[in-house]
Amino acid sequence: QNFELITAIEVIEHLRNPGWFLREASRHMTGTSRLLITTPNNASLYARLKYLFTLRLPHFDNHGDATHIYPVIPEIFTRITADQGLELANSWTYPASRGGFQTRAITRLLIAATRPFLRNPLPGDIFCMALRKRTGT
């Protein structure tokens, strides 16, 4: 059976084999279907700075959910999706910027200080992706 929309909201980071999940989702998609995936954003400036100074990713450290076992790194995830016949149709973050109520003042200050030197193309806490079947598959 095919579906027009398959969602995995805050699921993929819990899976031991995300490639298997993507393969199964792809089997149930048509050329117009979309697979919507959301996951903690490990590509934000905040996440990169935290990793730089602590070697820990937000949501995957001792303060995060212990069942988070697979951090999604966009560049690597793109390779995995391609292997399963999928491609990124669209991506965005939520909220649109980092610095909400969960961010400490010192972290907001550090982000503001490094912003002129470091790009932050994916600033939000949650990374959202809409995937589609790759053309020709």
Q: Which residue has the higher pLDDT, 19 or 111?
A: 19
Those residues whose C-beta lies under 8 Å from the C-beta of residue 105, and which sit 6 or more positions away, are none
**CA-to-CA distance for 78 and 3, rounded, in angstroms?**
22
Q: Is 93 helix (H, G, I), strand (E, B) or coil?
A: strand
pLDDT tens, 88-122?
999 999 987 655 445 567 666 777 777 777 777 78
Q: Read off the tokens for 24.
A: 């199964």
Q: Is 130 helix (H, G, I), strand (E, B) or coil?
A: strand
Residue owning tokens 């579906």 = 3
What is the pLDDT at residue 49?
85
In angstroms, the Cα distances linking 91 to 12, 64, 67, 77 are: 15, 24, 24, 12
The DSSP 8-state label assigned to residue 115 in this structure reads T
